């Protein structure tokens, strides 16, 4: 089986953090989910995906840091494409006027992107989440939908600009108490990473 290489990045930036609710910022939560994917736990996983990404905040060089923070999305995509990875994933959180809106949602553009989204959906449905103590205390994120960019009716630059099959992984709603509280916990973030990693491995097994 080919080892799958994944370009991954949290949506938005420090200066433009995306959706904000109850003092929390979308970019910060997306970053907390994404960062550990570059840590030893995932690096040492022999069968798991290899993550490459756009991580200006992990760079020690301050000049580079300042430069990248102000870099336009277009340049950011150029870097993402330069990795020549198999697939690309961007982590986001949804927001809605209704505080009831909740759940995980994946947006795709291409046919291969859809296949990747389906692999993650499949993993989500089979993941034994009920064993987790957290999920008995809070409502676990439910599955919301798997939707194409066309059906959604929004122009998503990330999906348009990536050369490889790509998805936007909306980990939950920042505006929903259960989703937000779940995604703010270490174990909630870990569950999201596991779903991603397993879904990506499933895609590699089937399509690479």
Q: Are 93 and 18 in contact (CB under 8 A)?
A: yes
Q: Which residues contact 94 (CB under 8 A, 6 or more apart)?
A: 19, 101, 105, 144, 170, 172, 173, 174, 175
Q: Are 165 and 112 in contact (CB under 8 A)?
A: yes
| Span of 10-18, 73-81, 109-117, 150-158 interacting with Zn ion by CB under 5 A | 10-18
Closest distance to Zn ion from the beta carbon of 12 (Å): 6
Question: Is residue 25 a contact residue for Zn ion (CB under 5 A)?
Answer: no
Nearer to Zn ion, 92 or 198 (CB): 92
Nearer to Zn ion, 17 or 48 (CB): 17
Question: Is residue 76 a contact residue for Zn ion (CB under 5 A)?
Answer: no
Q: Which of 5, 8, 11, 176 binds Zn ion (CB under 5 A)?
A: 11
# chain residues binding Zn ion, by CB under 5 A = 3
The residues in 87-116 that bind Zn ion, with binding defined as CB under 5 A, are 92
| Span of 8-16, 57-65, 99-107, 141-149 interacting with Zn ion by CB under 5 A | 8-16
Q: Which of 17, 18, 103, 199 binds Zn ion (CB under 5 A)?
A: 18
Half-sphere exposure for 200 (CA within 13 Å, toward CB): 29
Among candidate residues 194, 198, 189, the one with its CA nearest the CA of residue 119: 198
> What is the four-CA torsion angle of 148, 166, 124, 195, rounded to 10 degrees?
-160
133 burial level (CB within 10 Å; 0-12, 13-18, 19+) = exposed
Nearer to Zn ion, 65 or 156 (CB): 156
Site for Zn ion, rule CB under 5 A: 11, 18, 92
């Amino acid at each position: 089986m080919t080892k799958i290489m994944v370009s991954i990045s949290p949506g938005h930036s420090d200066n433009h953090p995306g959706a904000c609710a109850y003092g929390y910022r979308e970019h910060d939560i997306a970053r907390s989910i994404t960062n550990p994917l570059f840590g030893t736990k995932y690096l040492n996983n022999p069968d798991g995906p290899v993550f490459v990404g756009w991580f200006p905040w992990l760079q020690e060089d301050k000049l580079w840091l300042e430069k990248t923070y102000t870099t336009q999305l277009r340049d950011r995509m150029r870097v993402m494409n330069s990795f020549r990875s198999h697939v690309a994933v961007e982590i986001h959180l949804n927001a809605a006027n209704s505080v009831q809106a909740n759940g995980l949602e994946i947006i795709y553009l291409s046919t291969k992107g859809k296949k990747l989204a389906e692999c993650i959906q499949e993993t989500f449905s089979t993941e034994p989440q009920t064993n987790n103590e957290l999920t008995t205390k809070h409502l676990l994120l439910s599955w919301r939908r798997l939707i194409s960019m066309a059906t959604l009716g929004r122009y998503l630059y990330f999906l348009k600009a990536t050369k490889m099959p790509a998805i936007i992984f909306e980990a939950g709603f920042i505006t929903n108490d259960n989703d937000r509280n779940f995604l703010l916990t270490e174990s909630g973030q870990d569950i999201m990473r596991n779903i991603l990693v397993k879904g990506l491995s499933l895609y590699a097994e089937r399509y690479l």
